[in-house]
Structure 1
């Protein structure tokens, strides 16, 4: 009987990473959205790693999980058991990867958007979509950018543009102290707000005891073309404070542009640079 040939490219599509120890041992990448797992999923991972591997689970740099030392012959059974308990298979290669996100305004006092909700919606619509190259999303709740929106192919950041309500202000200078961008200056019962300096973090509004800062506009700011690795690139701001419907239109058009214009294996930022940012921006926002 002929020995079965392992199709490594096909396995990589499903999140299988061949280990260096021997050709039939794999590290299996799992689909985790925004780093969120419940207790049952954690128990399932522990059980699977002990039953089929060496009792180890690796946390990746992008909030993913991998169980290593899995013999190829046990992979299907392991995945079936994990799926029954709510843990799904991941992916690698030229396609949309796992979505990373902070906890956003569900947990963090500084969060301006529900990062987990947006990450789940992106995952539901785009996870593992085939593209010319790998594509990574990051969702961060505010301009502190804990999830490094500017280092992803497409980064989503929550933002809030404040509006000063003069009648409520007692000129206590708390907002001036809290502003990380020196966009607010209070002196002689006068307040100066510099919109050009403002980073849209909303700290002035959060700290004000007199409701002297209202919301002028809030939403999602999008960065494109970021990456790390051997040749890192900082993402460029594409659009600021858009609503959710517009956000997903921007995402859809960005992926369409990448699919149409990219060379095989090329990253999104390299495609944008080669074609031209203005041409890309026109295509997405027209």
Structure 2
């Protein structure tokens, strides 16, 4: 079976026989109900590997093709995007919810951005991150769009990338309120959607257009 024939929400693995699925776990939060469902599914379908991903999601790896649809039904979660050209996820650190270093509510902002942006169709893959303090535990400088909390407000970063051609993102604006972050994020994602080439990640988009041109377009 080829990757094009993969069941819904499944990623063909290197053995060319089994699949990985990635249940959606907004900002890495997992409820007791989802944990219980995961436990039952892993045992029922003999899933050999359960792995926490870099995007704070759980990957169930080694799933048989004939089990994929049944697993999604049993889990009862939304399908997490992995290969689609869209916003895949928002990762976030604990922020002021529990962390002694947190200076901003990264979980709260992350959840709001998750609801607004995840699944939105775009020219390329797009990943977001929200860090609640300058330690930047959620890797905001190496995500397509990152947000970093400081005592003076939020910083918005655009065009980061952690892959084979890594790039530190550019600061677009600082000392923002939560509402201003969401407004600016809408503008940045919208500008990227309208002007990026197909499969062009934000890092390459910034390299092609230049961050100053992008800032002028979204900041006026």
Report if TM-score (shorter chain) is over 0.5: yes
Counterpart residue number, 2:103: 112
After superposition, the Cα gap between the structure-2 partners of 1:56 and 1:43, relative to the gap in structure 1 and judged at 3 Å, is: farther
Counterpart residue number, 1:20: 14
Q: Is the 8 A contact 2:10 2:68 kept in 1?
A: no
Measured against aligned partners, the alpha-carbon deviations of 1:193-225 in whole angstroms (never above 9, x if no partner) come to xxxxxxxxxxxxxxxxxxxxxxxxx32111111
Matched ranges for 1:1-286 at <5 A: 8-9=3-4, 11=6, 15-23=9-17, 25-83=18-76, 87-93=77-83, 94-160=85-151, 218-286=152-220
Distance 1:7 1:282 in 2: 44
Distance 1:7 1:123 in 2: 31
Deviation at 1:118, TM superposition (A): 1.0
Deviation at 1:8, TM superposition (A): 3.6
Unaligned runs of 5+ in 2: none
Deviation at 1:9, TM superposition (A): 4.5
Deviation at 1:10, TM superposition (A): 7.7
**Taking structure 2 as the reference length, what is the TM-score of the superposition?**
0.93
Aligned residue for 2:87, secondary structure, equals: coil
Aligned residue for 1:240, secondary structure, equals: strand
Measured against aligned partners, the alpha-carbon deviations of 1:108-129 in whole angstroms (never above 9, x if no partner) come to 1121111111111111111121
Deviation at 1:55, TM superposition (A): 4.8
Q: Is the 8 A contact 1:53 1:67 kept in 2?
A: no
Measured against aligned partners, the alpha-carbon deviations of 1:11-60 in whole angstroms (never above 9, x if no partner) come to 58x5411022243x211111112211122221211111111233531111
Aligned-pair Cα RMSD in Å: 1.8
